[in-house]
Chains A and B, each alone.
Chain A
Amino acid sequence: MNRNEDLNLATPPTRMSVEYELRESLGWLSNLRWIAGAAVVAATWITRNVLGLDIPAVPLTAIGIGICLYNAGFKWWLARIQRGSPDIDAQPQTLARLQIAADWIAIAALAHFSGGIASPIILYYFFHTALAALLLSDKDTYISAAVATLLITGTALLERWSILPHHHVAGLLPADLYRNPLYLASTLFFFTSTIFVSAYLSTRITRRLRGREAEMIQLSGNLQRAYFQLETIYNNAQDVSSTLELQEVLDRLTRSTTNVMNLKGCTIRLLRETGTQLSLVSSYGLRDEYLKKGPLLVAQNPIVRQVLAGEIVAVSDVAADDRLQYPVEAAAEGIRATLTAPLEGRTGPLGIIRVYCDKANCFTEDDYLFLLAVASHGSVAIENAMAFEAIQHLEESKRKFVLFVTHELRAPIGVVRSLLNTMAGGYAGDLSDLQQDILDRAVRRAKFLQTLIDDLLDLAAAKTGLGVTKETEPVDLRVTLARIVERYRVPASEQGVDLQVRISDGHPICVVATTEELDRAFTNLVSNAVKYTPEGGVVEITLEAQSDKAQLVVRDSGIGVPWEALPHLFEEFYRAPNAKAQVQHGTGLGLVITKDILTRYGGTIRVSSGVGEGTTVTVILPTVAASADTATSDVTTNTTHNTRVTDSETTQLNSRMEEPRGDEEDPDCG
């Protein structure tokens, strides 16, 4: 990913770190030199006054002070470099050379005044050779070794020939050692060979060190890039997955891939259902003229076939590759190289993602890995978006189906019933007993058919909320229940069943739902209880508010549910055998609808029963607080009001139909 150097996370250049290190080294070298200068002055004084040796104290002290002086100068220079004055170039290198040169002269002078060739001070040169290897280039190191050799040899020879005076440290060295030609020759030979071998070893070690350092810097750069890529992939994945709109997913993929890989452009092509061609679904960075070139045909495009088989394929030079389907168009667009990765779904190839570069031989190993990563998380995002689209489509067709059924099934059965009712009611002339009987049967069957259709519609509505045209609002359960109970008073008393109702007084019990659905859910329960309770039985309905929920219990002394039927009660179309025996026609959908409605509003339903023991149904629904201005409501008023409605018990009228302004219905919860 060489192109990434433009980005903020570029690799730190190697040269900079070496220079940084050199500056650091020059810093501690200067600090060390303070000690060296002071040590020269101190050692001179101690040697002369404590050890009592005869040494040239004045020149030695002067050299010590001189070292400190030029060190101060270097210090000041270094400080300027560290402040980063722009007017001086390559200064750390020059400074390093100057420092070593100055030290060379200082050591030569020290050696001269402390016994010349015989002085142990000449050993300091080795120390500086290692320093030179560390701070300077190989060449400079060898030059400095040569200079040191020259200085030593020159001093020794000049002293030997008495051109320079010899300073002898009495008591330390034999007095005429410096005149001994053998000693002179051997010392110079060993000095020279040792200093050059040291230079060689030091430079080798330093070179290896530098190599390692460069490797490390590169590795850390790679690590940083890898981290950056990971972060980018992660961010992209998040960005791409944060929407489920297919087109948006695709567009985000092409845009972010182009930007992150710092390329010319990116396209995504998806495989058509026929599997013979790929159509462009999203692109970024490319002109329409190029994109209009046409579909990629699987049969004519070897690259596409290879990619669809799961490989990543690079075209490193568009001009030199004969596998392209549109080489002219690519050249006109300024595309020089492409890299194509497969988009693979769970069940097979989805399509391809391709990136475009305006330089030949553009893609690195990193690019391959990166594009493969993009392709793999992109495929997941694309598949998710596709699945979501399919679900939306399904929901839409379901909704259409419900509406279709509503109109197309309900309307004719309604007309049939109206016509049958008219005839059975004698409005089309008198009927014989047999005709009357046949028509009554037809009326009953038609009515059952309508109930079945209504139940199916309600079932669809209950599960999904589809077909529920009204908004939910806080509904007072007490009002709803009272209305249902009033509707069943007459049938219950005709059947000889005692219908007892206990609704807790005081505050309204508000549930956020639609009145119609609550009505439907509870009607099923009350209707079942009444229907399956024989003469002389009791149906007991209790509604009470608990802290944040309402509990409705419908208990009857009816035929009960056999234990083996209990697990099936909420199955669609299921009817317990004893229920079938008691009431011939039933859809087996009532309880399912009730449960679905209650579940949708966060409620639960529980049935406990046994044959001959009656049945207890317990419903729990979450409630909301009634509005602030709620007065203690008058349930009786509501029920009386609703009694009028029960005149027309065969229709599903409720009070709302008499008063179109439905808002007034549940003043307590609104």
Chain B
Amino acid sequence: METKKILIVDDDADLVLATRLVLESAGYDIEEAASGEMALEKMRTDKPDLVLMDVMMANPLDGYHTIQQIADDPQLSRIPILMVSAITASVYASSFPTNQLLSIREFISKPVEPETLLKKIKRHVR
């Protein structure tokens, strides 16, 4: 079976480290992006199987705006995305674009429990 590639988009290096440790232990390949711009670039070059995106990144391109750009690109919008947010996830859920093309699969609130994260990822990466 081919190794699945996951792109972690977060400007908090500590959080990226924690997530990377968990996912690597489950055998995933990890790519990192510390900004929205970098995320778009890596999505195009590395073609990840799933993106874990932090909602609250520093401007100019935060999670929300990155998602909008992804929605405009038919190639990128096919990639499943899990949104991670520090605030109660449901608050964000209702304010996000409901574009059908987008493949936001789930909202996850921080802090991420390793077990839960792996379970959710398994559901969307096959």
Q: Mark B41-72, 1 if CB is under 8 A from A, else 0.
A: 00000000000000010000000000000000
Q: Which of A418-451 contact B (CB under 8 A)?
A: 418-419, 421-422, 425-428, 450
Contacts A418-B110, A419-B14, A648-B116 given; does A516 touch B90 at CB 8 Å? yes
A470 at the interface (CB under 8 A from B): yes
Contact B90 A654 (CB under 8 A): yes
A85 at the interface (CB under 8 A from B): no
Contact of A651 among B15, B96, B113 (CB under 8 A): B113
Contacts A421-B113, A422-B22, A651-B113 given; does A662 touch B87 at CB 8 Å? no
Contact B114 A427 (CB under 8 A): yes
**Looking at chain A's contact residues, is the secondary structure mostly helix, strand, loop, or mixed?**
helix
Contact of A414 among B17, B89, B111 (CB under 8 A): B111
What is the size, in residues, of chain B's interface with A at 8 Å between Cβ atoms?
36
A469 at the interface (CB under 8 A from B): yes
Q: How large is the interface on A (under 10, 10 to 19, 20 to 34, 35 or more residues)?
A: 35 or more
B21 at the interface (CB under 8 A from A): yes
B88 at the interface (CB under 8 A from A): yes
Q: How far is the CA of A130 from the CA of B28 in the complex (A)?
A: 126
CB distance from B28 to the nearest CB of A (A): 12
CB distance from A140 to the nearest CB of B (A): 95
Contact A660 B18 (CB under 8 A): no
Contact of A648 among B93, B104, B120 (CB under 8 A): B120
Contact A425 B88 (CB under 8 A): no
B6 at the interface (CB under 8 A from A): no
Contacts A410-B87, A470-B94, A656-B94 given; does A418 touch B119 at CB 8 Å? no
CB distance from B108 to the nearest CB of A (A): 7
Q: How far is the CA of A425 from the CA of B12 in the complex (A)?
A: 21
Q: Which residue of A lies closest to B107 (CB)?
A: A657
**Chain A positions within 8 Å of B96 at CB level:** 660
Q: How far is the CA of A470 from the CA of B93 in the complex (A)?
A: 11
**Chain A positions within 8 Å of B110 at CB level:** 411, 414-415, 418
Contact of A419 among B18, B93, B109 (CB under 8 A): B18
Contact B93 A656 (CB under 8 A): yes
B125 at the interface (CB under 8 A from A): no
Q: How far is the CA of A177 from the CA of B45 in the complex (A)?
A: 151
Contact A657 B93 (CB under 8 A): yes
**Chain A positions within 8 Å of B3 at CB level:** none
Q: How far is the CA of A661 from the CA of B18 in the complex (A)?
A: 31
Q: Mark A394-424, 1 if CB is under 8 A from B, else 0.
A: 0000000000001100110111111101100
A389 at the interface (CB under 8 A from B): no
Q: Which residue of B lies closest to A657 (CB)?
A: B107
CB distance from A220 to the nearest CB of B (A): 70
Contact A425 B22 (CB under 8 A): yes
Q: Mark B78-96, 1 if CB is under 8 A from A, else 0.
A: 0000000011111101111
Q: How far is the CA of A657 from the CA of B116 in the complex (A)?
A: 14
**Chain B positions within 8 Å of A653 at CB level:** 89-90, 107-109
A584 at the interface (CB under 8 A from B): no
Q: How far is the CA of A648 from the CA of B122 in the complex (A)?
A: 14
B19 at the interface (CB under 8 A from A): yes
Q: Which residue of A lies closest to B88 (CB)?
A: A652
Q: How far is the CA of A418 from the CA of B10 in the complex (A)?
A: 13
Q: Which residue of A lies closest to B26 (CB)?
A: A427
Q: Which residue of B lies closest to A656 (CB)?
A: B90
**Chain B positions within 8 Å of A654 at CB level:** 90
Q: How far is the CA of A516 from the CA of B86 in the complex (A)?
A: 16
Contact A660 B87 (CB under 8 A): no
Contact of A660 among B12, B24, B98, B112 (CB under 8 A): B98
Q: How far is the CA of A417 from the CA of B110 in the complex (A)?
A: 9
A311 at the interface (CB under 8 A from B): no
Contacts A417-B111, A648-B120, A653-B89 given; does A428 touch B94 at CB 8 Å? no
**Chain B positions within 8 Å of A413 at CB level:** 111
Contact A651 B21 (CB under 8 A): no
Q: How far is the CA of A415 from the CA of B110 in the complex (A)?
A: 8
Q: Which residue of B lies closest to A454 (CB)?
A: B88
Contacts A419-B14, A421-B114, A427-B114 given; does A658 touch B87 at CB 8 Å? no
Contact A516 B93 (CB under 8 A): no
Q: Which of A638-669 contact B (CB under 8 A)?
A: 647-648, 650-654, 656-658, 660-662
Q: How far is the CA of A278 from the CA of B22 in the complex (A)?
A: 67
Contact A421 B87 (CB under 8 A): no
**Chain A positions within 8 Å of B19 at CB level:** 418, 422
**Chain A positions within 8 Å of B24 at CB level:** 427
Q: How far is the CA of A417 from the CA of B106 in the complex (A)?
A: 21
Contact A660 B116 (CB under 8 A): no
Contacts A660-B104, A660-B107 given; does A421 touch B93 at CB 8 Å? no
Contact A650 B116 (CB under 8 A): yes
CB distance from A405 to the nearest CB of B (A): 12
**Chain B positions within 8 Å of A411 at CB level:** 12, 56, 86, 110
Contacts A410-B87, A418-B111, A652-B88 given; does A660 touch B22 at CB 8 Å? no
CB distance from B12 to the nearest CB of A (A): 6
B2 at the interface (CB under 8 A from A): no
**Chain A positions within 8 Å of B104 at CB level:** 660
Contact B114 A415 (CB under 8 A): no
Contacts A418-B110, A425-B114 given; does A657 touch B87 at CB 8 Å? no
Contact A422 B18 (CB under 8 A): yes
Q: Which residue of A lies closest to B115 (CB)?
A: A425
Interface centre among B24, B56, B88, B113 (most CB of A within 10 A): B88
Contact B106 A658 (CB under 8 A): yes
Q: How far is the CA of A415 from the CA of B19 in the complex (A)?
A: 10
Q: How far is the CA of A648 from the CA of B93 in the complex (A)?
A: 17
CB distance from B57 to the nearest CB of A (A): 12
CB distance from B27 to the nearest CB of A (A): 12
CB distance from A586 to the nearest CB of B (A): 20
Q: Which residue of A lies closest to B113 (CB)?
A: A650
**Chain B positions within 8 Å of A414 at CB level:** 15, 86, 110-111
Contact B91 A516 (CB under 8 A): yes
**Chain A positions within 8 Å of B22 at CB level:** 422, 425, 427
Q: How far is the CA of A411 from the CA of B15 in the complex (A)?
A: 10
Q: How far is the CA of A415 from the CA of B10 in the complex (A)?
A: 12
CB distance from B69 to the nearest CB of A (A): 18
Contact B89 A651 (CB under 8 A): yes
Q: Which residue of A lies closest to B108 (CB)?
A: A651
Contact B12 A516 (CB under 8 A): no
Q: Which residue of B lies closest to A520 (CB)?
A: B88
Interface centre among B18, B96, B98 (most CB of A within 10 A): B18
CB distance from A521 to the nearest CB of B (A): 14
Q: Which residue of B lies closest to A661 (CB)?
A: B98
Contact of B14 among A415, A470, A516 (CB under 8 A): A415
Q: Which residue of B lies closest to A519 (CB)?
A: B90
B contact set with A: CB distance below 8 Å: 12, 14-15, 17-19, 21-22, 24-25, 56, 86-91, 93-96, 98, 104, 106-116, 119-120
**3 cross-chain pairs, A with B, having the tightest CB-CB distances, nearest first:** A417-B111, A414-B110, A657-B107
7 A-B residue pairings within 8 Å (CB atoms) = A414-B110, A422-B17, A428-B21, A470-B94, A653-B90, A660-B107, A662-B94
Q: Assuming A422-B114, A425-B115, A650-B113, what are 5 further A-B pairs, CB within 8 angstroms?
A: A415-B18, A470-B94, A516-B88, A660-B96, A660-B107
